Amino acid sequence: MENIKSFTLKELKELVENLNWPEYSAYQIFQWLWQKKVNDFSLMSNLSKLKREYLKNNYIITELKIIGNKKAKDGTEKFLFELYDNNKVETVFIPEEKRKTVCVSSQIGCPLKCLFCNSGKISFKRNLYFYEICDQILMIEKKLNIKPTNIVFMGIGEPLLNLEEVLKAIQVITSPIGFGISARKITISTAGIVEGIYRLAEIKKKVKLAISLNATKDEIREYLMPINKKYPISEILKACEYYWQKKRERITFEYVLIRDINDSEEDAYSLSRILKKIPCKINLIPFNSFPSISFQPPSLKRIEKFMKILVEANYTVTLRKSHGQEILAGCGQLAYQNY
């Protein structure tokens, strides 16, 4: 039987139309699934008994199964979920004073194999469907009894390589009868899939774009991120300029600082030069170590120097405080390990 969650609102409308049900039945079903989070047709009390029976006899409602869960001292919690086909997906919940962020995965494994990222070590299996992305948020809401304020596509996978499903997920996340989270509270982080950036520039929703840049010279970026061979820095920056022209939304450039690889003063000056034409914010992320890699974060002094150069060049710079490092839930650490 088909999973009713695999229907977008538009598809639910088509479904009820074919059944000669009124259109509002589609809204009711959607709301029960994503806002009220029920997993049983019999609880959909504003649908007639006959309709509930029909749905029950023809469709199923799936949920992710929590098979691992670990909490760090700072409250960050990571979850390992099992999907219907036994694949696994990992999601992180980050509670902060003013924000409750869910960091979702968009693929099973990641095909991009960035050297500084543990997720790149897991072999890529498939893209996640939109409802599997939404179910990560739903399960965390249910399990922790919280209402997330922010959603970041920064878990395992490259969201712009799964853009159709990510966009469908965004519809559910932003819908007032779905999760009801504003598009401005959603960040999509990409390794720089140029076509995806152009496509995102055309959508109406004002989601935030973050580019994982990490180097200012192609040879270093190629070493850290092999995808740079296909999408060199100049092409990514051109796409970002276009994005800015279309959306007038500041882009965030993420820069993972790795000792003796990309953390020199020259790198900082070069970064300030290449981003000049793009209104942006720079997010520095000291490398989070994980087993099987010898990279190290720079010393605090070096990080401060790097930051100072950018601040003096008038950039807004943030130093990302990593969450849940000791449980391998920090940036670039996810790899279905340590449960």
Summarize as ranges the residues that interact with ligand SF4 (CB under 6 A): 110, 112-114, 117, 119-120, 156-158, 191, 212, 332
Catalytic residue flag (residue 90)? yes
Residue 254 vs 267, nearer CB to ligand SF4:
254
Cβ 218 to ligand SF4 shortest distance, Å? 17
Dump the DSSP string for 72-86: -TTS-EEEEEE-TTS
Residue 15 vs 104, nearer CB to ligand SF4:
104
Cβ 112 to ligand SF4 shortest distance, Å? 4
Which residue out of 90, 158, 165, 254 is catalytically annotated?
90
Residue 111 vs 142, nearer CB to ligand SF4:
111
How many Cβ atoms are within 10 Å of 13's Cβ, its own excluded?
Answer: 19
Angle at 316 between CA 311 and CA 320, to 5 degrees: 100
Cβ 154 to ligand SF4 shortest distance, Å? 8
Residues making up the chain, counted from first to last: 339
The residues facing 89 across adjacent strands are: 81
Backbone φ and ψ of 143, nearest 5°: -65, -45
Residue 4 vs 335, nearer CB to ligand SF4:
335
DSSP 32: H
Distance CA 107, CA 201 (A): 22
Q: Which two tokens stand for residue 6?
A: 């695999």
Distance CA 7, CA 166 (A): 14
Cβ 323 to ligand SF4 shortest distance, Å? 16
SS3 label, residue 199: helix
Catalytic residue flag (residue 331)? yes
Residues with catalytic roles: 90, 331
